[in-house]
């Protein structure tokens, strides 16, 4: 346990961040799974220093053929967030910001668009 937060508490904060989103956004998350991983795997590590990662078909790209699909995944990386956030309060804020950022990718926004909206 680093910074006084175990995996169960970390996951609870992720769940609370999702629950606190406006209803119209939460309703779109019907086929999205939120996961907590200790660290990125080798493939994910090649993407740079990650707090989170969205994997799936962005909502705007889903057409009528999008049926019976495996859930999209939003994964938060616990050790990366712990490493960069020296206090519990900073960790909570980073978790919340990362959830919003990755949902932005799910909604079809790229990193430049998220940055322009203050969600970088």
pLDDT the model gives residue 69: 82
pLDDT of residue 109: 84
- With a CB cutoff of 8 Å and minimum separation 6, the contacts of 106 are 28, 29, 32, 54, 56, 58, 59, 72, 74
Total residues belonging to the chain: 120
CATH architecture of 7-59+69-116: 2-Layer Sandwich (3.30)
| Neighbour-count burial for 41-75, b at 16+ CB within 10 Å, e otherwise | eeeeeeeeebbbbbbbeebeebeeeeeeeeebbbb
The whole-number pLDDT of residue 67 equals: 83
pLDDT of res. 61 = 87
pLDDT in tens, 66-76: 888 889 999 99
pLDDT in 10s for each residue of the chain, 120 residues: 445 689 999 999 999 999 999 999 999 898 899 999 998 877 766 566 799 999 999 988 888 888 888 899 999 999 999 999 989 999 999 999 999 999 999 998 887 888 888 766
Q: What is the pTM of this model?
A: 0.86
pLDDT of 2 reads 46
């Amino acid at each position: 346990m680093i910074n006084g937060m175990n995996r169960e508490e970390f996951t609870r904060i992720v769940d609370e961040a999702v629950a606190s989103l406006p209803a119209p956004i939460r309703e779109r998350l019907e086929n999205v799974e939120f996961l907590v991983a200790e660290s990125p795997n080798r493939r994910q590590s090649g993407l740079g220093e990650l707090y989170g990662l969205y994997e799936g078909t962005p909502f705007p790209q889903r057409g009528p053929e999008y049926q019976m699909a495996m859930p999209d995944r939003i994964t938060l990386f616990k050790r990366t967030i712990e490493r960069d956030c020296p206090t519990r309060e900073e960790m909570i804020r980073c978790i919340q910001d990362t959830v919003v950022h990755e949902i932005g990718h799910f909604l079809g926004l790229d990193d430049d668009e998220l940055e322009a909206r203050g969600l970088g």
